[in-house]
Structure 1
């Protein structure tokens, strides 16, 4: 078969260019350390690499979200722990100040100590994060959550919003505990109603329970309980919100009283003429309770009247409920931190698996690549040398 000079030059040139292309491809692999640098190198493997790279980028974003959430929840958990300790200390201060053997001056000193503790607790409740946003304000992060109003009562200006962070596919975790959850909405230890003891009280008694057991027949509103003398025995007269009166003859404190689907338990020895009222109240605020306790200690008659003794018992119960609520809020933050640790571990394991798969798909075997490079270089040199010799042949050299 005859081969023209032009055909020979074309084939040889094409062979040389292919060898150069193969050599350059291996040089690129050696410089990047990757055996797949373009989709054309291996289309199927390139798709897998792209998917794994995107998954790793998503995991990295999740990890950043987790780190942010850990920081906020860590501060939250620490602040709530400090609040727990402070509330326990204030409860002791209240009990110490209620000691009947203290003089008014000594009681005032306890009240001043308690005021400082309340200011410290308010400071904790108004904590800011590293960005200058209020930690316990819900989603109203730029609004001071807790403050005293014109009447000296503590108000909450935040909301109940929880700021969620996406920490994994389909998983979100709250990065904050709203202030009302932590400091405002403790369950009322009495149940569904709060008690108001009157200054005219003479007997030694407290309300232990006032809870609704039948919503269908209950009438919400203010109930008045009057203890009246009836020929030497004490009857209990109850006036409901509609003005209807129910009489419980020969009142026995050991037996609960039921009215309009509500059960009321009174403990102690009420006297004829004593009275108290019940008003709907589902929750108590630890901040309001401690503020009331402070006013109680500043009252010159703090422990000398039956009314104030009953108030003290209720305040202590409310403090206990409020402290439990703070502990519950701290538990929410702690459980979220625990979940984040578990999710973070899962992400770390996923990243290892993805990185290992990526390594198998794209990492270059340098020994193999160098061997292939030397083979291609040798072939290129051989083709170039032969082409040079054949291309220089002329019939005139043999005439």
Structure 2
């Protein structure tokens, strides 16, 4: 078999170039700290790395969603806490003014304070977040008010999703809610992975989502025994059974110099019990956000470890490989030099 001088030369150059490429690749891995720097380095590993990074990015987004949800729940919790304090003060006045030692003048003075409590309660029940969205209007967060003046009963208030709030119902045979969407579900925020993207209006049990608004008619409801129209209690009529209307009834009795009836106190008790339950449920949602965050961070650590094993280079091994490759290059260069001298002309001189 004949081997030409040009073939010797070509093989020697190819060997040197291959070793130089290996050295450059190892130097790049050591400088970047990554084993995979291009698709050609390891296509399978690169695909897995991209999938892991996408999953970790999703977990980070869930954490941000959780922070937003917690900020909204803090607003709701604050509004409910202020409402509870206001109701407790109104209840104290109601019990105090029930005593026959107080006269009509005393009760009129108490009515003025109850009027201020009504304004405070109305502000809390129509509370908005920083984006101007109502937190007690169900899914209709962009309404002007969650509790609007009742067109049928001046001085009283109706939830925006109830038939009592509809102006057009005054002239039509069938009452239609002014904003039907206020009665369907609430706003939810995704805080974890889910096996589907389907969300129902009453999706309370899905741990991957958390509710950040509530239906005001459910939050501020009473047993409905204390709303009085023209001094007559309405237990089953066209008046919303909410705590704001209970306050209005209390104010009307006090302004008339009359002793507040026991029904008022009973309904305030029921409202306090309901608000305390809602506040506890909000605390449960906040705890669920924390649990989802902790679980996400644990999962993220496992994914990060897997990514590092796939993508990052072993510095010690890289330095060892680089030394071996440099030695191999040096040997290839020496061999090429010696082979280049193997010519017949060198023996004819």
The 1:153–1:282 alpha-carbon spacing in structure 2 relative to 1, beyond 3 Å, is: closer
TM-score normalised over the length of structure 2? 0.81
1:146 aligned residue: 147
1:180 aligned residue: 217
Do the aligned partners of 1:111 and 1:298 also contact (CA within 8 Å) in 2? yes
Separation of aligned partners in 2, 1:102 and 1:20: 101
Do the aligned partners of 1:165 and 1:172 also contact (CA within 8 Å) in 2? yes
| CA-CA distance at 1:327 after TM superposition | 1.7
Do the aligned partners of 2:86 and 2:117 also contact (CA within 8 Å) in 1? yes
Do the aligned partners of 2:94 and 2:250 also contact (CA within 8 Å) in 1? yes
Separation of aligned partners in 1, 2:38 and 2:24: 14
Q: Which runs of 5+ in 2 are unaligned?
A: 162-181, 195-207
| CA-CA distance at 1:91 after TM superposition | 0.6
RMSD (Å), alpha carbons: 2.6
Which protein is richer in strand relative to its size?
1
Residue-by-residue CA offset, 1:321-370 (whole Å, 9 max, x unaligned): 12222222222211111111111111111111111121222221112111
Does 2:68 correspond to 1:111? no
Higher RCO (CA-CA < 8 Å; seq separation 6+): 2
Q: Alignment partner for residue 286 of structure 1, among 238, 243, 255?
A: 243
For the pair shown, the structure with the greater C-alpha radius of gyration is 1
1:330 aligned residue: 279
1:369 aligned residue: 318
Separation of aligned partners in 1, 2:239 and 2:114: 26
The 1:330–1:393 alpha-carbon spacing in structure 2 relative to 1, beyond 3 Å, is: same
| CA-CA distance at 1:19 after TM superposition | 1.0
Separation of aligned partners in 1, 2:85 and 2:314: 61
The 1:198–1:364 alpha-carbon spacing in structure 2 relative to 1, beyond 3 Å, is: closer
The 1:283–1:334 alpha-carbon spacing in structure 2 relative to 1, beyond 3 Å, is: farther
The 1:314–1:281 alpha-carbon spacing in structure 2 relative to 1, beyond 3 Å, is: farther
2:191 aligned residue: 167
DSSP-derived class of the 2:209 partner: strand
2:136 aligned residue: 136
DSSP-derived class of the 2:191 partner: strand
Separation of aligned partners in 1, 2:83 and 2:126: 12
Q: Alignment partner for residue 355 of structure 1, among 304, 325, 348?
A: 304
Moved more, 39-48 or 329-338: 39-48
| CA-CA distance at 1:57 after TM superposition | 1.6
Separation of aligned partners in 2, 1:84 and 1:198: 26
| CA-CA distance at 1:396 after TM superposition | 3.6
The 1:282–1:340 alpha-carbon spacing in structure 2 relative to 1, beyond 3 Å, is: farther
1:177-256 alignment runs, 5 A limit: 177-183=214-220, 185-188=221-224
Do the aligned partners of 1:181 and 1:329 also contact (CA within 8 Å) in 2? no
Does 2:252 correspond to 1:295? yes
Separation of aligned partners in 2, 1:112 and 1:282: 23
**Length, aligned pairs only:** 311
DSSP-derived class of the 2:51 partner: helix
Q: Which runs of 5+ in 1 are unaligned?
A: 200-275, 304-308
Do the aligned partners of 1:197 and 1:277 also contact (CA within 8 Å) in 2? no
